[in-house]
Amino acid sequence: MLTFRIIPCLDVRNRRVTKGVKFQNNIDLGDPVEMAARYYEDGCDELVVYDITASAERRPIDIGIVRDVASVVRIPFAVGGGISSLDDMRRVLLAGAEKVSVNSLAISNPQVIADGAKAFGSQCIVLGMDPVRTPDLEKFPSGYEITARGFRVRTGLDAVEWAKRAADLGAGEIVVNSVDADGTRAGFDLEITRKIADAVGVPVIASGGAGKPEHLDAAWRDGHADAAIVAGMIHTGEWTVSGIKAAMRGVPLRRT
């Protein structure tokens, strides 16, 4: 049986980790390299590093942060933000990341998923998606629409249909980051996580809303997720990765 993975997420702006609620009111939390090292030592399974302003500022990702994180951890980590081409993917992977996360780029150019999978392998290509609940079931049968660029742009894409298309194109994993739950620490959106997990044949990662270990239990049991992203609950020191693992019961985990 594959183990359920716990993945800290580091949202980086100006070389500092930041966190907000529903992509707003972000506060400074610390140095990303120091935090990556701490979470690695505490037993996290993977990491995600997002350069959250790179795309909006139309600049490439800060490759120095990728190299610095790679120098202090010995676990897989994914990198996103500012990825606009296969050359950008190659630079990130050569800098030490194992995976590249694409979101807005994949929406505007879905072929990049297939091209990336062909060039580097499906296991390297992660689709990030930001679904928001909608009452328009005629247009969006899943009840969720995909947004882009930090929830600022509605795409007209149904969340489940987009996930299925991305998996068919070659995405090796899908991160379902609920806009409605992001930063609330009230629990993952299990409905859309489960719908996507049941519709695709690749691992699905629950994201947005983790506040206590029970939420991760629910992501596995009820959301059918293969992994969960955590941020605020560990960034603030309320929980540690090892503490979360110790509190989870019945979920297959890689114990520290």
Q: Which two tokens stand for residue 187?
A: 């629990």
C-alpha to C-alpha distance for 39 and 37, rounded to whole angstroms: 6
Amino acid at 218: A
What DSSP assignment string belongs to 169-214? HT-SEEEEE-TTTTTT-S---HHHHHHHHHH-SS-EEEES---SHH
> Helix or strand or coil: residue 111?
helix
Instruction: List the catalytic residues.
Output: 11, 130
Chain position carrying tokens 């947004």: 147
For the stretch 143-151, contacts whose Cβ atoms lie closer than 8 Å and that sit 24 or more positions apart, written own/partner, are 143/191, 143/192, 144/192, 144/195, 146/107, 147/179, 148/103, 148/104, 148/107, 149/55, 149/56, 149/104, 150/23, 150/52, 150/56, 151/22, 151/23, 151/179
The counts of H helices and E strands in the chain are 10, 12
